[in-house]
Amino acid sequence: MKRRTLLAAALAYPALTQPSRAQPGLAQPGLAQPGLAQPTFPNRPVRLFVGSSNGGSQDITARLLASRLAPLLGQQVIVENRGGAGGALATEPVRQAAPDGHTLVFNNMGALLITPLLHGGPQPWDDMVPVSLVADVLTVLVCPAERPWRSVADMVAAARATPGGLSWGHPGVGSSPWLAALLLDREAGIRTVEVPYRGGGPAMLDLLAGRLDYSFATTPTALPHVATGKFRALAVPTATRLPSLPQVPTMAEAGFPGFELRSWFGVMAPAGTPAPIVAALNRAIGQAMAEPEVVAILAQHGEAPLQSSPEEFLRIGHAERALWGPLAQAASRGQR
């Protein structure tokens, strides 16, 4: 596990880091697309269920996507936040919806791949339809500025000195911040206190208030507070330093070789959604995420746009579930 990255098993991933330009098919909003199985798609507002509360990186990115999809589709795209249960609350209404492309879920890797493994319920990756990747989401290890630690080594030393004395928050079991913190516990040989939240926003509020000692947080959520000096960034779990945080070392540079974690946001549809509708949505998402303003906004938050075919998305999902599932399942059995 230590030497494998989150996306190493998905060989297509490097080619997906830049969205492809839109293909023909969505040139005029609201008009039927060639080959669609129904006269017009969409013919009413599209509901986009988001597996997090307001204010976190997932919510921010989903609303950005929705604002760009609406003019492309010629219909409103209504964001509905359903935080909790590791993202499952957002997935269920989509699983039960009519497979006509008007009800979609925008969720993170953990909610779609990891959390279902832990609860033993329906597996979205097996009984829903992948539409497209949307964004590459990075994380950063941060602590409140008033904590005395200036490095990961300092924080790990404090954790070892007081087993069970340091606490960390995460936006949900199965999320990339949760996985990263579990991996740090294992690699550093420390015992800490896990505090779950319904999204990244609430977790950041408690970290800002000093009620948590540290967190792996997604960059859209953490970077504004790093910029104001309220958080101290200790390390990033990536192969190289982030352009947005050039002074912050990687986890490898901080003494943990091979410690890498990336995640993503993606869109899925109900099982049975006709392939032409999935293809039309895929093209619209690709066009939306390729807009220069969208690319610039994501870059400010430390994200990068992604676009994939449904088939590529499915392959990546299967590979990453196999990669991270064992760590998550061990943690759920108390084997941290």
Q: Which domains does the chain have, with CATH numbers?
A: 13-135+263-332 (3.40.190.150), 139-235 (3.40.190.10)
Q: Which two tokens stand for residue 34?
A: 């060639």
Divide the 336 residues of the chain into consecutive groups of 10 and give the mean pLDDT of each group: 39 39 35 47 96 84 96 96 84 94 94 83 86 93 97 98 95 84 94 88 92 93 93 95 93 94 92 96 97 92 89 91 84 67
What are the angstrom distances between the C-alpha of 89 and each of 36, 53, 94? 30, 11, 10
Q: For position 87, what pLDDT does the model report?
A: 80
How far, in whole angstroms, is CA 306 from its chain's centroid? 12
Q: What's residue 176's pLDDT?
A: 85
Do residues 29 and 37 make contact, with C-beta atoms less than 8 angstroms apart? Answer: no
Q: At what angle do helices 219-227 and 200-208 cross, to 10 degrees?
A: 30
**Strands 139-144 and 167-170: what pairing?**
unpaired
pLDDT at 7: 39
Q: How far apart are CA 29 and CA 147, in angstroms?
A: 52
pLDDT at position 103 is 98
pLDDT at 335 (0 to 100): 55
pLDDT at 39: 54
Contacts of residue 254, Cβ cutoff 8 Å, sequence gap at least 6: 151, 152, 153, 234, 235
The pLDDT, as a whole number, for residue 331 is 78
Provide the pLDDT for residue 200: 78
Query: Cis bond leading into 42, ω under 30°?
Result: yes
Q: What are phi and psi of 119, to 5 degrees?
A: -95, -15
Torsion of CA 225, 220, 318, 84, to 10 degrees: 70
Residues 89 and 77: their CA atoms lie apart, in Å, by 19
